[in-house]
Amino acid sequence: MESNGQSTLHANKTFQAPVEALYKAWTDAEQLTQWWKPMGLTLIQVENEMREGGKIAYQFEGQEGTSLKIDGSYQEVEPHKRLVYTWNWQLPDEKLNSAYKLEVLFESSDSGSSISISQLEDEQQESLKPKASAWDEELSKLASFLESGHWNDDAPQQGQSGVSNAQQQDASSSAMDQEGKPDYGSQNPVQDQ
């Protein structure tokens, strides 16, 4: 934690895949749709302009009308090494919206690669408070994707946009609670109070 009214959440994971494959899985539209499913939602559209000042926009949908949009812009881009960007969550319930700054580091090692994520948030904002466990869960999905070898398939190059339909539908796509709000279950990004 920092003392200037901001908090930082950290997540790390190692992978048995080259750093180039890890970076591509993190940035390539086709690959993202195969593994990234926050809160059980399906990634249906990606805009990812891999340059300083470039736009980021992810659109997720689930069953029964659940949706999530994440947008932002790149502040720093060092291919296969480091990304710094804004990360704005937009949920149907505006009170849950949130804005962050992410720093994502990619490192190569003898046995593969690793990722280190720092998520900086203004503690003053009243919004969803992500749990480290939510990042851990998504990074585990990324590890499974890389272990499957699908990252080696012929997929569009990084920076392409316009994925209109996800290639896979998650069976647990998105449960709703009794009031019609997303039931985040084990993927609830809200910290325990």
Chain segment 113-150, per-residue pLDDT in tens: 999 999 987 655 444 455 677 889 999 999 999 998 86
Q: Are 132 and 9 in contact (CB under 8 A)?
A: yes
- The pLDDT tens digits of the residues spanning 56-81 come to 999 999 887 888 899 999 999 999 99
Q: Work out the burial of residue 120: count CB atoms within 10 Å of its CB; fewer than 13 is exposed, 13-18 middle, 19 or more buried.
A: middle
Of the candidates 66, 25, 73, the residue with the CA atom closest to the CA atom of residue 48:
73
Of the candidates 26, 65, 74, 21, the residue with the CA atom closest to the CA atom of residue 42:
65
Tell me the sheet residues that pair with 70: 58, 89
- Tokens linked to 85: 């960007």
Rounded to 5 degrees, φ, ψ at 76 are -145, 140
Q: Are 158 and 27 in contact (CB under 8 A)?
A: yes
Q: Are 50 and 74 in contact (CB under 8 A)?
A: yes
**Side chain identity, residue 96:** L
Distances (CA, A) of 149 to 18, 105, 108, 124, 152: 11, 22, 18, 42, 6
Structure confidence at residue 79 (pLDDT): 96
State the average pLDDT for the chain. Answer: 76
Report the greatest alpha carbon distance in the chain.
50
pTM exceeds 0.75 for this model: no
